[in-house]
Amino acid sequence: MQVKSYPVDYPLDERFPDRRELAGFEGGKLYVSEKNGKYFIITDEGTLADFLLPEDDNLLSSLVRIYEFESEAERERYIQDRGWVK
């Protein structure tokens, strides 16, 4: 598994147009997607940006996280281990 963080303005609609919502939570949403033979979990905590100050640059630059998995089974195990229901 690889994890990369991006700022709140990361173009999710452009990069993952087929993403499906897995869960919503206070402050954001959780998505799953497949692309180029890889499997992804995407966490978008962008709604928190309104509550952060400009000094919170480290947080603002990592409100979107993309988890990349080699297989669907690996992604599903991660979802189950976290207690996220699909």
Mean pLDDT of all residues belonging to the chain: 85
How confident is residue 84, by pLDDT bands cut at 50, 70 and 90? confident
pTM of the model: 0.83
Structurally, how many domains does the chain consist of? 1
Which range marks the domain in which residue 66 is found? 2-82
Long-range pairs for 16-19: beta carbons < 8 A, 24 or more residues apart: 16/40, 16/42
Which percentage of the chain shows pLDDT scores above 90?
59
Where are the strands (E) in 1-86, listed by range?
A: 2-6, 20-25, 28-35, 38-44, 64-69
Q: For 26-65, what is each residue's pLDDT tens digit? A: 778 999 999 999 999 999 986 655 655 455 556 556 789 9
